[in-house]
Structure 1
Amino acid sequence: MISPRTHLLTRRRLLAGAAGIAAAGMIRPAGAVLRLEVTEGNVQPVPIAIPDFLGGSPADSELARSISQVITADLRRSGLFAPIDPAAYIEKIVNADAVPRFADWKVINAQALVTGRLTRQTDGRLKSEFRLWDVFSGQQLIGQQYFTTPDNWRRVAHIISDAIYERLTGEKGYFDTRIVFIDETGPRERRVKRLAIMDQDGAAVRYLTRGEDLVLTPRFNPSTQEITYMSYGQGEPRVYLLNIETGQREIVGNFPGMSFSPRFSPDGQRVIMSLQQGSNSNLFVMDLRSKTMTRLTDTPAIDTAPCYSPNGAQICFESDRGGTQQVYIMAAGGGAAQRISFGNGSYSTPVWSPRGDAIAFTKREQGSFGIGVMKPDG
């Protein structure tokens, strides 16, 4: 599960710094500015040059280089950008305020150029600056600076990557996010599962539980630093809330029966889950403010794996009410459910896309597993 991170940085915008950049004759119409558009499955990555950021001292230069390397890795990993080998660079960036020699960057086929600088302030904080340039128009697309403590340098790099990604693709970046997952270690007969968190690129791994209890299905709160997950902490599966900053943990609805498959609503104010009572399980939602539980389904079947649509108006879930596991959707407040998966095999674990235009699912047929996507109307 991936979550956005709360920005703890001071950000300012940089203006285009040189004469001529704002001259009317050098600025192309907005539609002509470099912009990456993904229209089909095959994408030609944008060639982008990311020279080492400049530093005010040898130590700062090394840290500045690390920032540019993280940005390079972020953008390359997205599959939409092709960072150019620094060995091909003609111009050596020595002044972050100067206008680059765009002719040199055109020669190596760079379409976009990122320049930056890192300086240490008198209070010990770092000021990280960057500019994104359109090589063909000679236009500065964005320029920003961030003030933060030295231990946050990786976050600065990811935030810069997000800004570049959003400016060139029109989509929000995802580099300044974290992944919560289950870490499994130990011999096969004594496996230990711990709840863990890390940056989206695998750095900064931190364990949130000690492995004393079995933990499963962690999910981030989209608006606060909380995680919901299932644990066998008291002998029977329960849904828990964990504050990842304070470590405080609480049970979400301590009701008879097994509760599982928790997921937050888009506003982070509710948790939807399955509650098993007898041989069947139904969907319930807990309001985290009032601590009230509302039943959403009431069938003799197994309803589980609920997920909200991005606008919170609907939920998708899996159910065997028709004889086999299939995907259904219904209003977030309950009511009639509509089946949207058909065909051979069983469908499970549906998840709504961030845009709300698709639902991903897993499918099992004759012993084979697959992952697919369908429209919300099937």
Structure 2
Amino acid sequence: MALKTLLAAGAVLALLTPLGVAAQPAPAQTPQEVIVDEGVLRPLQIAIAPFSGQYGDQISDVVGANLRRSGFFEPMNPATFLQRDLTLGNAPDFPLWTQIGAQAVLYGSVTPRADGRNDVGFRLYDPYRRCQLVSYQFTATPEQWRRIAHKISDVIYQRMTGEPGFFDSRVLFVSESGTELNRRSRLAISDQDGFNPTYLTDGTEIIMSPRFSSDSNEIIYVALGRDYSRIYIRDLSTGRTETLGEFDGQVLAPRFAPDGTKVAFSIIRGGNTDVYVMDLRSRQVSRLTSDPGIDTSPSFSPDGRRLVFNSDRGGSARLYVMNVDGSGQRPISRGGGVYTSPVWSPRGDLIAFVKQQGGQFHIGVMSPDGGGERLLSSSYFEEGPSWAPNGRYIMYARKGRNGATRLWMVDVTGRVVGQAGYEGRGEDPAWSPLLDAPPTDLGFNQSPDSCPA
């Protein structure tokens, strides 16, 4: 996958400089296209001044943490800043920022309104070209400060990389507590950086395979009780929860179709596991596979026309694709090892998967035809990949040899890898699409950029 962005030579996107090569501002101003694909890159040195006003410091801290986690930015130490009297009405003193090597300067303010809401404005400058890259003003209630910080991060990420951001999103996962012999699992939801976790179930059932709908308003998951397995759908705005019905056999791995009208899942019945799809309007169920092997973990393509799933019908688990009506089933994985847990990228260009080989587990990606397989992350045990809404990052669960499972994140190059924000034990993450902004609570205005394309 290529990350494309337009920039002037030697200007602000020095994150594209190979590691070990000093970033020097070039005098030329000729636009050029830079394609970022694989390799080691130098993060962009961005100066983030503390925002003024209520929650200002917290907003700038969250923006800095988001941008650092993306792997493309390195927020600078505020102790090195030579200018501190930054106001939205004035441009920064550019030589004071180039002197310390800042390749971008961000500052902002939080201003209270008479209606109890806040205006949160910010500006991003390129100190080498001495021009404004982007300027926004958001309006929101004070308690929405963290979400505003995520939206600011998305704006900056898109302006600087040319790709959509992923910060204003949420993660659904299974939170774990207790011991291996007495484990308690609860369905949890949090911001994508792990903050503001909320627990949606009480731990009396074993929770598996939580997934978002395409609009983030509904979720689906499996609950296992003492003598039952059920698929539940929950409306996050109302809390209303309903079951898809009773099935003859154990249900596994449900996932919404992109348009939200269908759900694909597997049923273990009579010693066999097959893929089914349910029309949510009629509740009619259709069987898509009938092979004697184990067919499970179906995932729709973004256009809803195909499904990827894993099956051991050939002797060991491999990845297969089929049309949404079950026709055209064919294998796509070609390497050795055991392939499981496939999930189609929201862009449609890649399929993420888990591969067990050589005594380790790996998170990998391949094209939908099985070509270009790449392993991005490896450890003692990894499972449950889920795509960020921009299709560039994958969240998954990694278990250490001590038995503790944590949420991790890797980008599609394998260069950016590390533990995700949630500090507790968790597994089976599901990343939401970008959140919609409620028009009555969250508005924004954009000022034109002054930097040439």
TM-score (structure 1 length as normaliser): 0.86
Q: Counterpart in 2 of 1:7?
A: none
Letter in 2 for 1:172: P
Q: Counterpart in 2 of 1:42?
A: 40
State the SS of the aligned residue for 1:173. Answer: coil
* Within-5 A mapping of 1:246-265: 246-265=238-257
For 2:353 and 2:239, locate their aligned partners in 1 and report how far apart those are by CA, in whole Å: 32
Q: Counterpart in 2 of 1:208?
A: 200
Deviation track 1:39-62 (CA, whole Å, cap 9, x = no partner) reads: 32212111111101122xxxx2xx
1:134 equivalenced with 2:132 (yes/no): no
* Within-5 A mapping of 1:173-184: 173-184=165-176
State the SS of the aligned residue for 2:340. Answer: strand
Distance 1:230 1:160, change over 3 A: same
Deviation track 1:244-263 (CA, whole Å, cap 9, x = no partner) reads: 23222111243222211011
Answer 1 or 2: higher relative contact order, Cα 8 Å, separation at least 6: 2
1:311 equivalenced with 2:303 (yes/no): yes
Whether the 8 Å contact between 1:270 and 1:286 is mirrored in structure 2 is yes
Q: Counterpart in 2 of 1:171?
A: 163
For 1:315 and 1:326, locate their aligned partners in 2 and report how far apart those are by CA, in whole Å: 14
Task: Give the share of equivalent positions with the same residue, in percent.
Answer: 45
Whether the 8 Å contact between 2:345 and 2:352 is mirrored in structure 1 is yes
For 1:30 and 1:235, locate their aligned partners in 2 and report how far apart those are by CA, in whole Å: 68
Q: Counterpart in 2 of 1:242?
A: 234
For 1:130 and 1:270, locate their aligned partners in 2 and report how far apart those are by CA, in whole Å: 42
Whether the 8 Å contact between 1:253 and 1:293 is mirrored in structure 2 is no
For 2:183 and 2:191, locate their aligned partners in 1 and report how far apart those are by CA, in whole Å: 24
Q: Counterpart in 2 of 1:355?
A: 347
Q: For structure 1, which segment, 289-298 or 189-198, has the greater mean C-alpha deviation from structure 2 after superposition?
A: 289-298
CA-atom RMSD in angstroms: 2.0
Q: Counterpart in 2 of 1:116?
A: 108
Letter in 1 for 2:36: V
* Within-5 A mapping of 1:63-78: 63-78=55-70
Q: Counterpart in 2 of 1:326?
A: 318
List runs of 5+ in structure 1 lacking aligned partners: 1-27
Q: Higher helix fraction: Structure 1 or Structure 2?
A: 1
Deviation track 1:168-206 (CA, whole Å, cap 9, x = no partner) reads: 111111111111111111244322110011111111011
- 1:359 to partner: Cα distance: 1.6
Q: Higher strand fraction: Structure 1 or Structure 2?
A: 2
Distance 1:94 1:376, change over 3 A: closer
Distance 1:188 1:233, change over 3 A: closer
- 1:293 to partner: Cα distance: 2.1
Whether the 8 Å contact between 2:87 and 2:108 is mirrored in structure 1 is no
- 1:218 to partner: Cα distance: 0.8
Whether the 8 Å contact between 1:54 and 1:94 is mirrored in structure 2 is no
Bigger CA radius of gyration? 1
List runs of 5+ in structure 2 lacking aligned partners: 1-27, 371-453
State the SS of the aligned residue for 2:41. Answer: coil
State the SS of the aligned residue for 1:162. Answer: helix
Deviation track 1:130-159 (CA, whole Å, cap 9, x = no partner) reads: 112122222222211111111111000011
- 1:367 to partner: Cα distance: 4.2
Deviation track 1:34-87 (CA, whole Å, cap 9, x = no partner) reads: x985232212111111101122xxxx2xx1111111101110111100111111
Whether the 8 Å contact between 1:352 and 1:359 is mirrored in structure 2 is yes
TM-score (structure 2 length as normaliser): 0.72
Q: Counterpart in 2 of 1:10?
A: none
For 1:224 and 1:205, locate their aligned partners in 2 and report how far apart those are by CA, in whole Å: 16
State the SS of the aligned residue for 1:147. Answer: strand
Whether the 8 Å contact between 1:224 and 1:268 is mirrored in structure 2 is no
Q: Counterpart in 2 of 1:53?
A: 51
State the SS of the aligned residue for 1:192. Answer: strand
Equivalenced residues, count: 343
- Among residues 190, 204, 211, which one is paired with 2:182 in the alignment? 190
For 1:329 and 1:45, locate their aligned partners in 2 and report how far apart those are by CA, in whole Å: 38
